């Protein structure tokens, strides 16, 4: 538990699902800044000014605390979770499946697409395609019951005959959800009722190219902006739109889009937006779009993609792709991006981003169609610690000290984050073959999809 050194007072800290209430030294109610939220349900803190608070006030607060809604341990509001690193925040490890087996709460028939589910408090959101409509569904987390639906027409057709549904995972911030369809329609939708707030046709406005497999990078929110990698012409490779209106705030580069999503780096005093396009890794000032760093990073093959999202690590910026690019650890030195190590034999992510814990990366090495391996490497050196074969392709997220490995085959494997060996805790078939979308994890709920099904499993923590 964290405590804050501030003016003596008696406080009730209520996490995430309820406003934070504060009683100052005069017994007046006020609301604390969200930054003071603690990863607990509520905490009564005794201070020297305790005697100034009346017993009646304490009784009212105690009664209020007892009637609070269930606390949500951690939301999953965007691609790769709250910090865009594949890690479920504020979650405890899952109990042994043998003694506390998971329960499937619900299963739904859905449309096509590779867009993953997101979770905010008690609701699940999924962007998928049914016939000629891109559909945004909102469902109850516990029951799967539909709350609302938003849909818009789509014209996307895949040139290679693959799934025609959305690729980008929505981003939910405050009361709005931000979408990007496979054919380049950018939309903001009210998260409470599904009403459209604004819509921008990036394909028509900036002449975006659909690439090999449609528009795919997931949007990212920064302050009052929502940032998209769209690969537009006229210096509109990367754009920031006003979250409230959809109006353009800034544009940067004319690079064609890749398939990796942008990520925010808050390690320095001035944040950096890392955006990996088809051609380069760019470090951008997210406030105004000005380039701070840029380094070429792509395969020499034309038929190639950069798909795994950059990871901001204590050791540096990690990027990985197939087609000969391999793993790359970059560091800022003397005002430019420098390579700490690079190699195609260490960690070559085709499309699934690795996860990190205590100096080690865990992820899939090799092309999806050639039978990739799951492995662990040391982040600072790229040294391979172990390799597990015969799993096939998949994606991975981390819940505390446990890996949740969602295989393309539809099998879920739970393993330990152990740099010395691959240690399986349990495994279970939960979906049919064809799983490519990243799953979500929130408050013990694991939500995953195939092109035709969405399932929710409840784990005991």
Quote the CA–CA distance of 24 and 344 in Å, as a whole number: 58
Q: What's the pLDDT band for 68 if we cut at 50, 70, 90? A: very low
Give how many domains the chain has, as a whole number. 1
Greater confidence (60 vs 86) lies with 86
25 within some domain = yes
Instruction: Return the minimum-mean-pLDDT range out of 6-10, 87-91, 356-360, 389-393.
Output: 6-10
8 A C-beta contact, residue 317 and residue 324 = no
Quote the CA–CA distance of 238 and 231 in Å, as a whole number: 7
pLDDT at residue 60 in the model: 37
The CB-side HSE value for 275 (13 A sphere, CA atoms) comes to 31
265 within some domain = no
8 A C-beta contact, residue 94 and residue 414 = yes
344 within some domain = no
Alpha helices in 173-242 (DSSP H): 202-206
Quote the CA–CA distance of 56 and 48 in Å, as a whole number: 18
For the chain, the helix, strand and coil percentages under 3-state DSSP, each to the nearest 5: 5, 45, 50
Question: Which is nearest to 383 in space by CA: 322, 413, 340?
Answer: 340
169 within some domain = no
pLDDT at residue 209 in the model: 86
Greater confidence (160 vs 11) lies with 160
Chain segment 31-63, per-residue pLDDT in tens: 333 333 333 332 333 333 334 444 444 333 333
Range of the domain at 59: 10-66
**pLDDT cut 70: percent of the chain above it:** 84
Q: Which residues pair with 151 in a beta bridge?
A: 135
50 within some domain = yes
Q: What is the mean pLDDT of residues 86-108?
A: 91
Q: What's the pLDDT band for 161 if we cut at 50, 70, 90? A: confident
pTM: 0.84
8 A C-beta contact, residue 136 and residue 192 = no
Pairing of β 263-265 and β 248-252:
unpaired
Q: What's the pLDDT band for 73 if we cut at 50, 70, 90? A: low
Q: What is the mean pLDDT of residues 367-391?
A: 95
8 A C-beta contact, residue 49 and residue 8 = yes
372 within some domain = no
Quote the CA–CA distance of 269 and 403 in Å, as a whole number: 32
35 within some domain = yes
Greater confidence (18 vs 395) lies with 395
The CB-side HSE value for 356 (13 A sphere, CA atoms) comes to 21
Among 21-25, 31-35, 130-134, 212-216, top mean pLDDT goes to 130-134
Instruction: Return phi, psi of residue 60, to 5°.
Output: -60, -45
Please state the length of the chain: 461
Q: Which residues pair with 415 in a beta bridge?
A: 403, 424
336 within some domain = no
Q: 227 in the Ramachandran plot: left (φ > 0), alpha (ψ -120 to 50) or beta?
A: beta
């Amino acid at each position: 538990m964290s405590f804050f050194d501030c003016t003596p007072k008696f406080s009730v800290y209520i996490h995430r699902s309820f406003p934070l209430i504060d009683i100052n030294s005069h017994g007046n109610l006020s609301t604390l800044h969200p930054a003071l939220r603690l990863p607990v349900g509520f905490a009564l803190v005794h201070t020297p000014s305790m005697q100034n608070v009346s017993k009646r006030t304490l009784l009212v607060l105690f009664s209020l605390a007892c009637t609070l809604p269930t606390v949500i341990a951690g939301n999953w509001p965007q691609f790769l979770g709250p910090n865009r690193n594949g890690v479920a925040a504020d979650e405890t490890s899952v109990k042994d499946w043998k003694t506390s087996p998971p329960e499937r709460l619900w299963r739904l028939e859905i449309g096509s697409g590779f867009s993953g589910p997101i979770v905010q408090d008690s609701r699940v959101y999924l962007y998928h395609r049914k016939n000629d409509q891109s559909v945004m569904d909102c469902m109850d987390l516990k029951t799967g019951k539909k709350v609302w639906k938003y849909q818009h027409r789509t014209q996307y057709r895949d040139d290679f005959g693959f799934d025609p549904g959305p690729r980008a995972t929505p981003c939910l911030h405050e009361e709005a959800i931000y979408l990007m369809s496979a054919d380049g329609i950018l939309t903001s939708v009210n998260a409470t009722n599904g009403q459209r707030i604004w819509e921008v046709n990036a394909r028509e406005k900036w002449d975006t190219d659909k690439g090999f497999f449609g528009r795919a990078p997931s949007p990212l929110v920064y302050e009052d902006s929502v940032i998209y990698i769209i690969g537009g012409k006229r210096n509109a490779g990367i754009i920031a739109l006003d979250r409230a209106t959809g109006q353009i705030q800034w544009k940067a580069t004319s690079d064609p889009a890749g398939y990796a999503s942008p990520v925010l780096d808050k390690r320095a005093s001035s944040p950096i937006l890392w955006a990996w396009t088809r051609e380069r890794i760019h470090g951008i000032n997210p406030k105004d779009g000005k380039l701070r760093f840029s380094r070429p990073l792509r395969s020499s093959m034309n038929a190639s993609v950069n798909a795994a999202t950059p990871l901001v690590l204590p050791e540096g910026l990690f990027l990985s792709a197939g087609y000969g690019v391999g793993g790359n650890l970059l560091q800022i030195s003397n005002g430019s991006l420098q390579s700490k190590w690079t190699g195609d034999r260490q960690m070559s992510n085709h499309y699934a981003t690795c996860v990190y814990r205590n100096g080690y990366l865990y992820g899939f090495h090799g092309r999806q169609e050639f039978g990739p391996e799951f492995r662990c490497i040391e982040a600072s050196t790229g040294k391979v610690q172990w390799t597990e074969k015969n799993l096939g392709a998949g994606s991975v997220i981390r819940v505390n000290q446990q890996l949740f490995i969602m295989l393309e085959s539809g099998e879920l494997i739970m393993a330990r984050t152990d740099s010395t060996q691959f240690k399986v805790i349990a495994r279970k078939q939960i979906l049919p073959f064809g799983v490519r979308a990243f799953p979500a994890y929130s408050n013990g709920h694991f939500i995953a999809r195939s092109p035709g099904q969405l399932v929710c499993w409840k784990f005991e923590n």
